[in-house]
Amino acid sequence: MSAPADEGVLAAAAAWLAQDPDESTRTELAELLDRARSGDAVAVAELHDRFDTRLAFGTAGLRGALGAGSNRMNRVLVGQAAAGFAAYLRAATPGGTPSVVIGYDGRRNSDVFARDSAEIFAGAGLRAILLPRLLPTPVLAFAVRHFGASAGVMVTASHNPPDDNGYKVYLGGADEGSQIVSPADAEIAAHILAVAEAADLGAVPRSDDYEIADESVVDAYVAATALVAPAPAGAAGMPWVYTAMHGVGYETLQRILETAGYPLPTVVAEQIEPDGRFPTVAFPNPEEPGAMDLSYATARRVGAEFILANDPDADRLAVAIPDAAAPEGWRRLTGNEVGLLLGWRAARTARGGALACSLVSSPGLQTVAEHYGLDFHATLTGFKWISRAPGLVFGFEEALGYLVNPETVRDKDGISAAVAILGLIAEARESGETLADLLARFSETFGFFASGQVSIRVDDVSIIGRIMATLRAAPPTRVGDVAVDRIDDLLAAAPGEPSGDVLRLWLADGSRVIVRPSGTEPKLKAYLDVRGDSATDAAARLAALDAGARVLVTAP
């Protein structure tokens, strides 16, 4: 099968090839170009996929599949991003010398992308500080504040598929080490595009005059995080299991456990060392089916009381408890369940301040805040928003992200969250309670909240836009058998309110459905929240709402 190759895409690929410093992607692209020039239709289509667009730089930075081309993660794209970000920082610091901390995890090419960035930042006249080795994302977020840096870059794709990588950007100063938000993203993107349009990465100055941070920055993070919850007496002899999901979390966590006085866990040996191939999981995300199966098997073997799991860059935390009704004998708690427990913990000791969660997370946190006389903020999805909530003492989002120590890290942190949950569990053990008992006590105190999610993955992301447009053009009057009371379209939010491509449906029985596109994956998501008179009632309401929501997001 053959097809004529478009001259435009051939020229774009050739220009890219000429500036690519990576032998692997040069070889990959050269072979693809040869096939396309000979009329191979598959190769032509592949070139169009790689060059008809480029990975967009936004508030989540960059994230995509590894490979050659402007629509892939590679050394050319990362070099352009680093040069553009350097130009942005120079423009934002007239007369001064901006500083940037660079971190990286254990994914393929993370170390290469980090070194390229450090050389380009240094070549632009910035003070560039490369972290000493592969480390968790929270350590980079901590390091931005620790060094008083202007910005930070973390090379990671977090819990994305094995072939992905990414580039996450933080700002220091008044932003206190939070991830970027608008308009900084658009301004950085404009600088990156200017570099890309020059199509000459080789002309971008580089220097090896960058610093490599010593271990003191890691020591400082360990010391600060151990103080989140020093081990109480109930921690003695506590049997538990931990997995790093082939990521970088355990080395740092182990040091914190020893400092804080917790017993070390039984680790899932097959997943404890960093491995960018992620050989034992199809998708290195604790939320995905099958990802925690080895943890469950390990826990059954050693008689563990609970399981903790970090995602590969350790900014998220999953918790599982024994459950005889679950297929594996273990049940992973939802992010809402963990977030509500940690919010309760924070509220009990807070002296003023606010609890915050993303607007798609459980409304139960607002109930906790009101119970303790604290402020509450519902933000757009993402810790770039949660971390900026005024007076924040605790924040979370349902996708396993928790911010328990805002004075130290202004981002989700799966390691400090692990220490906080260990403290909760150990305190409960002192009175003969388990984590399941704490969940029951929460419900008895604040109400029986239940949450769920319907997620529709698509191959063509334009389908998501069509579904959202249809829901706006013909707003639903019912979800299942329950009438819709009102709909909030956050594209038309009032000034000062969260705004975005989000529809929030309030139902007559007090339930809530929120529909939004995923910010990092080709998915449309519907978030479901109910409050029942009992656990059984809440479960029944949620099941009915789930059925109705599936029709809602697939029918258009």
Q: Which residues are catalytic?
A: 158
CA distances to 89, 174, 188, 511, 524 from 94, rounded to whole Å, are 9, 16, 16, 51, 42
DSSP element (H, E) containing 151: strand 151-155
CB 312 within 8 A of CB 161: no
The dihedral of CA 268, 336, 530, 555: what is its sign? negative
Burial class for 436, CB neighbours closer than 10 Å (0-12, 13-18, 19+) = middle
Structure tokens at 529: 């929240």
Question: How many CB atoms within 10 Å of residue 508?
Answer: 12
Structure tokens at 245: 């999901």
Question: How many CB atoms within 10 Å of residue 325?
Answer: 6
Helix, strand, or coil (residue 54): coil
Helix, strand, or coil (residue 85): helix
What's the distance, Cα to Cα, between the start and end of the chain in Å?
36
222, 282, 226, 223: which is closest to 251 by C-alpha? 222
Where does 303-430 have alpha helices with state H?
A: 335-349, 364-371, 383-386, 414-430
CB 135 within 8 A of CB 218: yes
CB 397 within 8 A of CB 335: yes
CB 346 within 8 A of CB 393: yes
CA triple 221-222-225, angle to 5 deg: 80
CB 248 within 8 A of CB 106: yes
Structure tokens at 44: 């032509």
Question: Per-residue b/e over 42-78, b at no fewer than 16 CB within 10 Å?
Answer: ebbebbbebbeebbebbbbbbbbbbbbbbbbbbbbbb
CA distances to 107, 335, 354, 390 from 318, rounded to whole Å, are 20, 7, 24, 27
Helix, strand, or coil (residue 215): coil
The half-sphere exposure of 521 on its side-chain side, counting CA atoms within 13 A, is 15
From CA 271, how far away is CA 149, in angstroms rounded?
33
From CA 194, how far away is CA 313, in angstroms rounded?
31
- Convert 101-118 into a string of H (helix), E (strand) and C (coil): EEEECCCCCHHHHHHHHH
Residue 515's DSSP bridge partners are 503, 526
